[in-house]
Amino acid sequence: GAVVSQHPSRVICKSGTSVKIECRSLDFQATTMFWYRQFPKKSLMLMATSNEGSKATYEQGVEKDKFLINHASLTLSTLTVTSAHPEDSSFYICSAPREYQETQYFGPGTRLLVL
């Protein structure tokens, strides 16, 4: 069964609003979670590493103020897309390592559409 969940699965919002996406590890604790963005017919692009108890680590070119990440507990990380614009429309996927740091389990993804 699923070990990582995401909510919501899809969201439509107006330009200028903020959207929060949750990522939960269901039956294990994750001190680290990862947030990816996937464009249509493209691979996954790592956006940031979410660290419980400390600041997230962002990849080069990812706007920290645009994509706010909070690792609130050992089972929850949130990604907030602030002042969303149509170009932020994408498929966002989170992952968390379970037994070993090398093996990541992925959430089902969140489809964001900004009108």
CA atoms of 24 and 13, how far apart (whole Å): 22
Q: How far apart are CA 80 and CA 40, in angstroms?
A: 21
Residues 6-35 that bind another protein (CB under 8 A): 6, 32, 34
Site size for another protein, by CB under 8 A? 23
Stretch binding another protein (CB under 8 A), from 12-20, 60-68, 71-79, 104-112: 104-112
What whole-number distance in Å separates Cα of residue 73 and Cα of residue 111? 24
Closest CA to 47 of 12, 15, 77: 77
Q: How far is the CB of 16 from another protein (least distance, A)?
A: 26
- Is residue 21 classed exposed, middle or buried when 0-12, 13-18 and 19+ CB atoms within 10 A define those classes? buried
- Tell me which of 1, 14, 40, 43 binds another protein, using CB under 8 A: 43
Does residue 102 touch another protein according to CB under 8 A?
yes
- Which stretches of the chain bind another protein, using CB under 8 A? 4, 6, 32, 34, 41-44, 46, 49, 91, 93, 95, 101-109, 111
